[in-house]
Structure 1
């Protein structure tokens, strides 16, 4: 039901599951295992997997911390989008990558829930994509020292409000790793 024309396919988007980003993240190993299961399913079902990698002053391109975690192995034929802003669409070629694959629906996973995942959810939705968040396949680090709620609450709140997101001609939703349909 996307508002994007001639884009009938779905893609799995893996946002910033990089060593430094998920180091110490809430339920890190469980979330990465869920993402790995989704990547395997997507590959077996012929659903494109698109990887996103962030860099900035603290997350230096090419450093060990910048690398995708060792538990996940992007394939050479899978798109890798490098970004410098929270929204994976901002100043990147992500929309072109998705258009080339006829993608109008994104299934989103990754880190950090309260930053790049949330920004990318909204960025995709406002650009006309249908967007499904995998509720047990995103995480974040603890930011309570700066006044943020505990990570568990951040994840629960994000899942709650994304489940009720609405806009003309687009769908939004939250599904679990086991229940999400990767294809339309």
Structure 2
């Protein structure tokens, strides 16, 4: 149906209609914000955060290790112990549940890869001095730099099963199979995953991009604040933006406690569909 100003209901009109995907009683309650925009026409809230908690419902959950590769080891030192704990805990949970997955990506752009797109234009050509490179668009150290950090590397079986792949954009979902579909999204949909937990590098680029992409594709998103890091000064800003827009920022210990004590496997398709790119459920 074509949407025009004539057939778009007002909020008051819409609230009078039945809506099976919404809890009307909750919808009519005020949001628990602490401050509001002065003089705004809708008394608009100034603060937002995730209304859900991990333990609210059974889940099908995946740990995403975003660009945890050897070239980034200098930036990963502080978070590596926490990432080790995360991988160990998710592997243990995966051994007991078909609703747990782990995926690894590596950033694989090269200066001679033949790809010239908006990312190249945004970063520009400067900073590619061989002895002291700065340009963040490319891998500098060749194949050695693309290997996953050894402490959290996938096993041969995990690699063989396709859980490690090379991405060429900031967003982990923006790598495509031969049918033009998101490689990661298809892997997760095959296991009916509905929640993703992101760790890795860099917080204000790949991690934040993946959080937004995951939310757009219908996943509940957790960013593990003390298991992500960046080379810039934007760590806390990026976490604040993620936590107030599309994700829930938790600590390593909070996620580990949930996985060990409160995680229960959800039924496939209980909260997220797989036919539409945004994860909507049919009907």
Which blocks of at least 5 consecutive residues in structure 1 are unaligned? 2-6, 143-149, 167-171
1:29 and 2:77 are equivalent in the alignment:
yes
Cα separation, 1, equivalents of 2:198 and 2:61: 11
1:99 and 2:189 are equivalent in the alignment:
yes
- Find runs of 4+ consecutive structure 1 residues off by over 4 angstroms: none
Name the counterpart of 1:163: 243
Which blocks of at least 5 consecutive residues in structure 2 are unaligned? 1-51, 53-57, 95-99, 111-137, 177-182, 265-283
Cα separation, 2, equivalents of 1:98 and 1:60: 30
Q: What TM-score do you get using the length of structure 2 for normalisation?
A: 0.53
The number of equivalent residue pairs is 161
Give the CA RMSD over aligned residues: 2.1
SS in 2 for 1:122: helix
Cα separation, 2, equivalents of 1:81 and 1:97: 11
Cα separation, 2, equivalents of 1:131 and 1:61: 32
Q: Deviation of residue 60 (structure 1)?
A: 7.1
Q: Deviation of residue 49 (structure 1)?
A: 1.0
Greater relative CO, 1 or 2 (CA 8 Å, sep 6+) = 1
Q: Deviations over 1:155-183 (max 9, x none)?
A: 212222222225xxxxx301100101344
Larger fraction in strand: 1
Cα separation, 2, equivalents of 1:8 and 1:61: 39
Conserved in 2, the CA contact under 8 Å of 1:53 and 1:81? yes
**Higher mean Cα deviation, 115-124 or 68-77?**
68-77
Q: What TM-score do you get using the length of structure 1 for normalisation?
A: 0.79
User: Which of 162, 177, 180 does residue 252 from structure 2 map onto?
Assistant: 177
